[in-house]
Amino acid sequence: MRLLSAFTLGVLVLPLTAYASEPHSYAQPDQVVVTHLDLDLKIDFPHKQLDGQATLKLDWKNPQAPSLVLDTRDLKIAKIEAVGTDGKVTPLKYALAPRDKQLGQKLTIAAPAHPAQVRIVYATSPGASGLQWLTPAQTADKKLPFMFSQSESIHARSWVPLQDSPAIRFTYDAHVSAPKDIRVVMSALNDAKHPLNGDFHFDQPHPIPSYLLAIGAGDIAVKETGPRSAVYAEPSVVGKAAHEFEDTEQMIATAEKLYGPYRWGRYDILVLPPSFPYGGMENPDMTFATPTVLVGDKSLVSLVAHELAHSWSGNLITAASWRDIWLNEGVTTYVQGRITEALYGKGLADEEALLSAHALQKEIGDMPANSQKLAPDPRGIDADDSLSDVAYDKGSWFLRTLEQRFGRDAFDNYLKGYFDHFAFQSITTEQMLGYMKPNLIEKYPGKMSWAEVQDWVYGTGIPKDAPLPESPHFDTIDQERSAFLAGQMAADKLGAKDWNTQEWMYFLDRLPDAPPLAKMQELDAAWHLTGTPNAEIGMRWYSHAIAAGDKAVWPAAAEHMTRIGRLYLTLPLYQALVKTPAGLSYAEQVYAKAKDGYHPLTQQAVDAIFAKARKAGK
């Protein structure tokens, strides 16, 4: 349905039915909605905390609402006040509920007089799940400390008290104090020429959900990559990053040609230290990115295409609950492929689509039936667990199927209309389908039945007629891999000299789960995979070599695991090692050295791997 077009306090007013039932938030948006956030924070590196205040502008929906309920996690609340329209400040009573392991603490603020604003004075915990604090020794340049946030899925509540649900959007501004020589950036408009004077101001004029609230601070240099883009990174990294991402402006222009104007003003990229737990985070105006994509040949810049694509799918139109997260990630992965194809060719885009499709085909059958659905039935899982390969890869596969059935021109027009129709709104799967039915399925009858659409969205597995692109290079690699494993081709005769990163990934992905040790040693002798600086290749190589029983690769694998905290590139090595008693012992030694440099999310994931392995070994 089309939402209301009235504006209050600069934010789109949503009808109450637009708010999804969100099991991962204590917020009560049917009672009151936060429309604007005003932050005033001080970065305290010695104590590893942010302290200051958050002032929330409120839109009271229920005239009888007795209180404002917010999400928090491990925040130290000093006081809470009502701020009237006349500026008068009145203390408010509040209660913090006992801590829930997943949801944190429910903060209930008694506010029967319905103040226009509520101000909360607070400080974060040194162990805040949404923040990572790095010492100078843990950074690339070893000079200054570094701090960054990761708010998705429900970690914004660990550094700001708010309604931490993707259904609720708000504008924000911020004043941040920091030590001299430290640059601060946020998911807002950033000034590349801002003096490093310890006094930073930010403005995000567009309504965003809480998981897109972001902050970073450290020894950060800047290089422009276009009239509306720049790369931010530590001084020793910024030049390499600017070269790798020099096509950013072309990416923006390509996406605009396909799907309409870029509406966020600037698109800057912050390259974080290697401990960042994800490949990238699509924070508006300032994507946070892993340095593991800086391989020198632009072979992994699809990550930038992906995060940029979120400026339309995810940031412009947001899934209203974590159950609907495929609306963000599936649509974005499809748009990423279109940007990659336009700039780097159909061959590379098809290879990346095949890599993700084959990985999903291998994994989806082992998932619980409900987890195989794009829009699953209600389930009691952590919000972070919603971000599975199903959301990304089944979602994008569905959109590629729609493109094939309806033709690229018709589907592009539909998708552009979809982005315009729901711009700056949070929607459910059912709202998306409600728009799709008249504007695509019924508009072009005979192309795809509604039953087929529902099977993709609510069905398990992958539909049998799901189309896959063709890749002659992958076909050749399949033949060579088979010949190599059968002893019919020596490792040094493989055509790998000309393989790009994706082709090496494909070759390694489709090796046996536990390949013969002699074959792995032969492959390493021919192509020197141990010690590779390419983290995508390294993760795959070490996982297979460890599974084959090659202890000679363990030290290089340990270096990879210590240097990189990105979940996707590190967890498979721990999983491979813990399968044997000796490997488990070695992995524990590696973790003891690496743990302090890992993000809290990475620590939690590795701890879970060890717990499962120890339980299985009893």
pLDDT over 70 percentage in the chain: 96
- 307 tagged catalytic: yes
Query: Per-residue pLDDT for 10 more than 60?
Result: no
Its pTM stands at: 0.93
Tell me if 289 is assigned to some domain.
no
Same domain, 589 and 479: yes
Res. 105 pLDDT band, cuts 50 70 90: very high
Q: What secondary structure does DSSP assign to 394-423, as a single string?
A: IHHHHHHHHHHHH-HHHHHHHHHHHHHHTT
Res. 22 pLDDT band, cuts 50 70 90: confident
Tell me if 602 is assigned to some domain.
yes
When divided into structural domains, the chain yields a total of: 2
- 503 tagged catalytic: no
Residue 374 sits in a domain of what CATH number? 1.10.390.10
Same domain, 524 and 445: no
Res. 437 pLDDT band, cuts 50 70 90: very high
Same domain, 395 and 524: no
Say which residues have a Cβ less than 8 Å from residue 242's Cβ, sequence separation at least 6.
223, 225, 231
Query: Per-residue pLDDT for 93 more than 70?
Result: yes
Of 395, 426, 458, which marks where a domain is finished?
A: 458
Same domain, 551 and 422: no
Q: Which domain holds residue 450?
A: 320-458
Tell me if 336 is assigned to some domain.
yes
Query: Per-residue pLDDT for 386 more than 80?
Result: no
Contacts 24+ apart (CB under 8 A), 6-12: 8/35, 8/59, 9/35, 9/36, 9/57, 9/59, 9/171, 10/35, 10/36, 10/171, 10/205, 10/207, 11/35, 11/36, 11/59, 11/169, 11/170, 11/171, 11/207, 12/169, 12/207, 12/424, 12/425
pLDDT tens digits for range 258-292: 999 999 999 999 999 999 999 999 999 999 999 99
- Per-residue pLDDT at 21: 62
What per-residue string of b and e applies to 317-327 under the rule 16 or more CB within 10 Å gives b? bbbbbbbbbbb
**Mean pLDDT computed over 210-217:** 98
Same domain, 498 and 538: yes
Query: Per-residue pLDDT for 248 more than 90?
Result: yes
Tell me if 77 is assigned to some domain.
no
Same domain, 600 and 485: yes
Tell me if 29 is assigned to some domain.
no
Low-confidence winner among 9-23, 214-228, 463-477 (lowest mean pLDDT)? 9-23
Same domain, 339 and 453: yes
pLDDT tens digits for range 361-385: 999 999 999 999 999 998 777 777 7
pLDDT tens digits for range 146-205: 999 999 999 999 999 999 999 999 999 999 999 999 999 999 999 999 999 999 999 999
- Per-residue pLDDT at 493: 97
Of 403, 430, 458, which marks where a domain is finished?
A: 458
Tell me if 426 is assigned to some domain.
yes
Query: Per-residue pLDDT for 15 more than 90?
Result: no
**DSSP state, residue 278:** S
Residue 484 sits in a domain of what CATH number? 1.25.40.320
Same domain, 454 and 517: no
- Per-residue pLDDT at 511: 97
- Per-residue pLDDT at 87: 87
Of 458, 493, 523, which marks where a domain is finished?
A: 458
Which of 278, 392, 414, 586 is labelled catalytic?
392
Low-confidence winner among 219-223, 332-336, 387-391 (lowest mean pLDDT)? 387-391
Same domain, 382 and 423: yes
Same domain, 477 and 591: yes
Same domain, 523 and 445: no
Query: Per-residue pLDDT for 11 more than 70?
Result: no
Which of 22, 152, 282, 307 is labelled catalytic?
307
Same domain, 352 and 328: yes
- Per-residue pLDDT at 383: 73
Q: In this structure, what token pair is assigned to residue 334?
A: 């499809």
- Per-residue pLDDT at 14: 40
Tell me if 562 is assigned to some domain.
yes
Tell me if 304 is assigned to some domain.
no
Q: Given CA atoms 529, 535, 536, 540 in this order, what sign does their dihedral have?
A: positive
**Mean pLDDT computed over 215-228:** 97
